[in-house]
């Protein structure tokens, strides 16, 4: 089933780790299928998610250990029991997990134990599908499985802290590691096979329901990742593998020192010489997992802020041209139609807008940004929206709408209530209504806004390293919210057929 970003539609943002469940964090199992059915009952066309790779530093999905692999945390333990790969008795020793928060260390340890048992059971059966998956995915899976196995055997230390010969990918050293870690490498390949199989099942169920999945591609990758370790030539690194220049954004209205992200920067001229092969492979795989893709930090494809790795802040940097249209022409030639959403928030220049419009990509607009004193605020008012755009109440980086509203100063609160024509008693639903009735082709809201949750349910606070990405639903939203969302969606012509 095909899903078009040019048709009037709506959807909900909820990352799978936020789903309820008994195993420390949400996953792609029964609760995900139940939420998909709930969305369909609410008349929605899209389910938006964050990146689904194996999370790294700070448990951030935007700092994954691979741009290709799936997160083992999203493998459903309940589905393994249903498939007969995990004896039900193995769940008797399940630890106690907190309610309403993802406990990543405990969830990871629990899944490690369960997945090792499942692999031993699986090995006694026919492996044809497993071997086919490994062969089809070998261009990224071989490096990832080896990287993950070595990393685990070295106490999860970054690859730049491994032995020099492994860090430098000496052929003999890699062969020795493959022999010594053969079992661990097979375990990693098995986990990726399980993730792919469960994800295909979820995507197929969503398609049956008429529900499209929106994924997320961060423009940059984590330094401690299989991608950087296996493709050092594609990044600006010194002989020890450390970045010489890093990504971030310059000082602006929100931050006097900018944001120093720390990701290594691409050697775009080297990537161009390969025909952008790595990027084409990345997009081809994402388009198998998702029906549409949000391009995080789209402005970086036109120009990006380069910071010397030695700089403590992002203040002293420079703008450097990105690959621009060359990359998207190569992607379009290789992949065909590009169902992409340009996250064009930030320092948007006419050149960024021109690149977005050249490929007919919808940009993003955030209603929470519309009522402040920032010079760009008027562009986020709904009467200034374009049809070819994606309108949101907020994103994973924003406070919840209720939390945001409660913190507004007197003038911003007055401007908000005046524009919406409301008392603010149900500010979350008023904001959803405003986005849903806008001319934007696609309207999105985080599930927290449907439920009217406060700041305690915020997903991420940019610039902080602790306590993010942990919020979870206690249960799938109920009939009340479903009926109300379905009615708004019907009124404003966004209902699924």
Of 397, 406, 412, 481, the catalytic one is: 397
- DSSP for 236-294? -B-TTS-BSEEEEE---SS-TT-EEEEEEPB-HHHHHHTTSHHHHHHHHHHHHH-SEEE
Taking CA atoms, 42 is separated from 20, 24, 218, 450, in Å, by: 19, 27, 29, 11
Strand segments, DSSP code E, in 169-228 are: 212-218
Distance CA 131, CA 126 (A): 10
Residue 40 CA from chain centroid, whole number: 22
Radius of gyration, alpha carbons of the chain: 23
Q: Which two tokens stand for residue 215?
A: 């994924």
Residues 6+ apart with CB under 8 A from 323: 268, 271, 272, 276, 301
Residue 399 among the catalytic residues:
no
Residue 343 among the catalytic residues:
yes
Q: Which residue has the tokens 């199992």?
A: 29
Q: Are 366 and 374 in contact (CB under 8 A)?
A: no
Q: Which two tokens stand for residue 474?
A: 């206690």
Q: In what order do the strands lie in the sheet with 317-321?
A: 259-264, 245-249, 303-308, 317-321
Residues 6+ apart with CB under 8 A from 192: 69, 70, 133, 137, 141, 144, 145
Of 27, 103, 296, 449, the catalytic one is: 296
Packing angle of the helix pair 138-153, 277-289 (nearest 10 deg): 90
Q: Are 295 and 217 in contact (CB under 8 A)?
A: yes
Q: Are 424 and 417 in contact (CB under 8 A)?
A: yes
Q: 15-49 burial, b if ≥16 CB within 10 A, otherwise e? A: bbbbbebebbbbbbbebbbebbbbbbebbbbbbbb
Of 31, 343, 399, 470, the catalytic one is: 343
**Segments in 359-469 forming alpha helices (H):** 401-406, 410-420, 427-436, 447-451
First to last CA, the chain: 13
Residue 296 among the catalytic residues:
yes
Residues marked active site are found at 296, 343, 397
């Amino acid at each position: 089933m095909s899903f078009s970003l040019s048709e009037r539609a709506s959807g909900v943002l909820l990352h799978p780790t936020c789903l309820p469940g008994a195993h420390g964090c949400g996953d792609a199992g029964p609760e995900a299928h139940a939420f998909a059915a709930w969305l369909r009952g609410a008349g929605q066309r899209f389910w938006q998610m964050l990146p689904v790779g194996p999370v790294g530093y700070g448990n951030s999905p935007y700092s994954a250990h691979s741009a290709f692999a799936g997160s083992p945390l999203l493998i459903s333990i309940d589905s393994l029991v249903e498939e007969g790969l995990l004896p039900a008795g193995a769940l008797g020793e399940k630890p106690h997990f907190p309610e309403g928060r993802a406990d990543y260390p405990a969830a990871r340890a629990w899944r490690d134990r369960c997945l090792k048992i499942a692999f031993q059971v699986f090995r006694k059966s026919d492996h044809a599908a497993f071997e086919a998956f490994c062969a089809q995915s070998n261009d990224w899976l071989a490096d990832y499985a080896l990287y993950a196995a070595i990393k685990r055997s070295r106490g999860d230390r970054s690859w730049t802290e491994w032995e020099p010969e492994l860090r430098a990918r000496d052929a003999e050293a890699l062969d020795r590691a493959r022999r010594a870690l053969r079992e661990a490498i097979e375990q990693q390949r098995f986990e990726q096979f399980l993730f792919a199989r469960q994800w295909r099942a979820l995507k197929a169920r969503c398609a049956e329901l008429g529900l499209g999945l929106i994924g997320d591609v961060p423009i940059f990758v984590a330094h401690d990742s299989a991608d950087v370790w296996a493709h050092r030539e594609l990044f600006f690194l010194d002989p020890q593998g450390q970045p010489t220049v890093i990504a971030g954004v310059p000082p602006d209205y929100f931050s006097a020192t900018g944001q120093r992200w720390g990701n290594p920067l691409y050697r775009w001229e080297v990537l161009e010489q390969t025909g952008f092969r790595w990027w084409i492979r990345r997009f081809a795989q994402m388009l198998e997992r998702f029906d549409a893709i949000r391009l995080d930090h789209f402005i970086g494809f036109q120009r990006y802020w380069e910071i010397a790795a030695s700089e403590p802040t992002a203040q002293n940097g420079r703008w450097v041209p990105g690959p621009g249209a060359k990359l998207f022409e190569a992607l379009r030639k290789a992949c065909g139609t590009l169902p992409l959403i340009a996250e064009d928030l930030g320092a948007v220049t006419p050149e960024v807008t021109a690149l977005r419009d050249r490929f007919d990509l919808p940009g993003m607009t955030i209603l929470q940004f519309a009522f402040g004193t920032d010079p760009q605020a008027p562009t986020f008012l709904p009467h200034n929206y374009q049809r070819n755009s994606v309108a949101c109440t907020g994103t994973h980086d924003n406070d919840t709408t209720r939390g945001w509203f409660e913190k507004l100063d007197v003038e911003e609160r007055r401007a908000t209530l005046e524009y919406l024509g409301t008392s603010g008693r149900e500010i979350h639903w008023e904001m959803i209504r405003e986005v849903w009735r806008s001319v934007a082709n696609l309207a999105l809201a985080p599930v927290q806004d449907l439920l009217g949750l406060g700041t305690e349910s915020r997903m991420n606070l940019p610039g902080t390293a602790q306590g993010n990405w942990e919020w979870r639903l206690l249960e799938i939203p109920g009939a009340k919210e479903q009926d109300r969302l379905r009615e708004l969606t019907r009124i404003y012509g966004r209902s699924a057929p």
